Amino acid sequence: MINPVYVAIDTTEAARAISLAERLKGQVGGFKLGLEYFTANGPAGMEAVSGLGMPLFVDLKLHDIPNTVAAAMKGVVRLGAAITTIHASGGAAMIRAAVDAANDEAAKLGIAPPAVVAVTVLTSLDQAGAEQVGFDRPVLDQVKRLAALAQDSGAAGIVCSPLEVEAVRALCGPDFKLVIPGIRPAWSEAGDQKRFLTPAEARAKGADVLVIGRPITGAADPAEAAARIKAELGL
């Protein structure tokens, strides 16, 4: 079985990212690099990690007007991303522009396009936090609403918490990619994550990709932590 774990390598230091990636290569399915790393190290820093030969998840959560997102998405495709993120709340036209740009640029380069997945409600928000930003309905309903919008607008999948996986799967079907952060092994700390489950629980509910950062990268022995998660997943 393919390892569904993408380790979130959240650091500003390229040397640390490369060292972690080298140590974790055999224990995870791919590497996720996000805003913290990209703003410090740029495309060259991303390529230093993708050069290790594992699938790359470029998590920049693009959210702007359609024209701007489309232009930025072309740059993401040039990084060789296997998966990348936009915000579903950017709206139908923005999602469609991102997907079209990804497909066009990939065709131009003769490579496979990334799976463009749309962030619904951040896993750091609980119900009260979601209401503060204007989501005046249960988080689950907001996630389902944005999931339907993302699917109708051409996205390959969404990002949501493990708590919403079963409902979104029922709504969007088996081929819609569910990329799931908010993953906390029983032996790890929640930190700023508010809607979370263990890796095995998320997988059992039907998550396709498990995004796990600090429980691995913050462990005394990151490779041992990743191996422990792998074992808990029965891999």
Q: Would you list which residues are annotated within the binding site for substrate?
A: 10, 32, 59-68, 123, 184, 193, 213-214
Sign of CA dihedral 106, 32, 86, 145: positive
Q: Choose between 96 and 214: whose C-beta lies nearer to ligand LLZGTKA7.
A: 214
Which of 4, 29, 34, 90 lies at the binding interface for ligand LLZGTKA7 (CB under 6 A)? 34
Which of 8, 73, 165, 226 lies at the binding interface for ligand LLZGTKA7 (CB under 6 A)? 8
Q: Which helix or strand (DSSP H or E) is residue 224 part of?
A: helix 222-232
Among the listed residues 25, 64, 100, 141, the single catalytic one is 64
Which of 30, 114, 185, 213 lies at the binding interface for ligand LLZGTKA7 (CB under 6 A)? 213
* CA dist., res. 207 & res. 198, Å (int): 11
- From 13-21, 86-94, 198-206, 208-216, span contacting ligand LLZGTKA7 (CB under 6 A): 208-216
The reply to whether 146 sits near ligand LLZGTKA7 by the rule CB under 6 A is no
The reply to whether 21 sits near ligand LLZGTKA7 by the rule CB under 6 A is no
Half-sphere exposure of 19 (CA within 13 A, CB side): 9
The reply to whether 74 sits near ligand LLZGTKA7 by the rule CB under 6 A is no
Compute CA distances 135 → 98, 151, 196, 226, whole Å. Answer: 24, 20, 19, 35
Read off the tokens for 206.
């039907």
Question: For this structure, is 61 an active site residue?
Answer: yes
Residues marked as binding? 10, 32, 59-68, 123, 184, 193, 213-214
Using CB under 6 A as the binding criterion, the count of chain residues that bind ligand LLZGTKA7 stands at: 15
Question: For this structure, is 108 an active site residue?
Answer: no
Which of 17, 20, 46, 119 lies at the binding interface for ligand LLZGTKA7 (CB under 6 A)? 119
* CA dist., res. 218 & res. 85, Å (int): 24
Question: For this structure, is 25 an active site residue?
Answer: no
Per residue in 10-30, is it b (16+ CB within 10 Å) or e — as a string? bbeebeebbebbeebbebbbb
Q: Choose between 120 and 153: whose C-beta lies nearer to ligand LLZGTKA7.
A: 120
* CA dist., res. 206 & res. 178, Å (int): 8
The reply to whether 181 sits near ligand LLZGTKA7 by the rule CB under 6 A is yes
* CA dist., res. 211 & res. 226, Å (int): 12
The reply to whether 212 sits near ligand LLZGTKA7 by the rule CB under 6 A is yes
CA angle 144, 188, 216 (to 5 degrees): 90
Helix, strand or coil for residue 31? strand
Query: Which residues are catalytic, by number?
Result: 59, 61, 64
Tell me which residues touch ligand LLZGTKA7 (CB under 6 A).
8, 10, 34, 119, 122-123, 159, 181-182, 191, 193, 211-214
